[in-house]
Amino acid sequence: MHYDLCKKIIENISRVIIGKENSIELLMVALLADGHVLLEDIPGVGKTLIAKSLAKSIGASFKRVQFTPDLLPSDITGFNVYDQQKGEFVFQFGPVMTHVLLADEINRTIPRTQSSLLESMEERQVTVDGRTYPLPHPFFVMATQNPIDLEGTFPLPEAQLDRFLLRVHLGYPGQDEEVAILKRFQENDPLQKLSAVAAPEEVSRLQEIRRGVRISDPVRRYITDITRATRDNPSCSLGASPRGSLGLMRAGQAMAILRQRDYVLPDDIKYLAFSVLAHRLILHEEVRLQGKTQEQVVREVIETIPVPVAVE
User: Measured between alpha carbons, how far is 270 from 2 in angstroms, rounded to an integer?
Assistant: 23
DSSP output for 175-210:
HHHHHHHHHHTSS--HHHH---SS-HHHHHHHHHHH
46 and 190 in a single domain? The answer is yes
Number of domains in the chain: 2
Last residue of one domain, picked from the residues 176, 209, 242:
209
Question: What pLDDT does residue 30 have?
Answer: 97
pLDDT of residue 26 exceeding 60 = yes
**Alpha-carbon 265 to chain mean position:** 22
Residue 312 included in any domain: no
237 and 121 in a single domain? The answer is no
User: Measured between alpha carbons, how far is 273 from 261 in angstroms, rounded to an integer?
Assistant: 19
193 and 273 in a single domain? The answer is no
3 and 124 in a single domain? The answer is yes
User: Measured between alpha carbons, how far is 130 from 51 in angstroms, rounded to an integer?
Assistant: 32
Question: What pLDDT does residue 152 have?
Answer: 59
Average pLDDT over residues 166-185: 91
pLDDT of residue 22 exceeding 90 = yes
163 and 218 in a single domain? The answer is no
Q: Beta strand pairing status for 88-93 and 78-83?
A: antiparallel
For 244-253, what is each residue's pLDDT tens digit? 999 999 999 9
148 and 221 in a single domain? The answer is no
Last residue of one domain, picked from the residues 174, 209, 244:
209
What confidence tier does 187 reach under pLDDT thresholds 50, 70, 90? confident
Question: What pLDDT does residue 149 have?
Answer: 59
228 and 169 in a single domain? The answer is no
Give the structural domain span for 236: 212-305
Question: What pLDDT does residue 266 have?
Answer: 96
Q: List the strands of the sheet with 166-168, edge to edge.
A: 62-66, 100-104, 140-145, 37-40, 166-168
For 210-232, what is each residue's pLDDT tens digit? 999 999 999 999 999 999 999 99
Is the model's pTM score more than 0.75? yes
Question: What pLDDT does residue 150 have?
Answer: 60
Last residue of one domain, picked from the residues 209, 232, 260:
209
143 and 238 in a single domain? The answer is no
Average pLDDT over residues 294-304: 95
Residue 300 included in any domain: yes
Question: What pLDDT does residue 310 have?
Answer: 55
CA-to-CA dists, residue 215 to 19, 43, 51, 57, 253, angstroms: 31, 38, 30, 29, 8
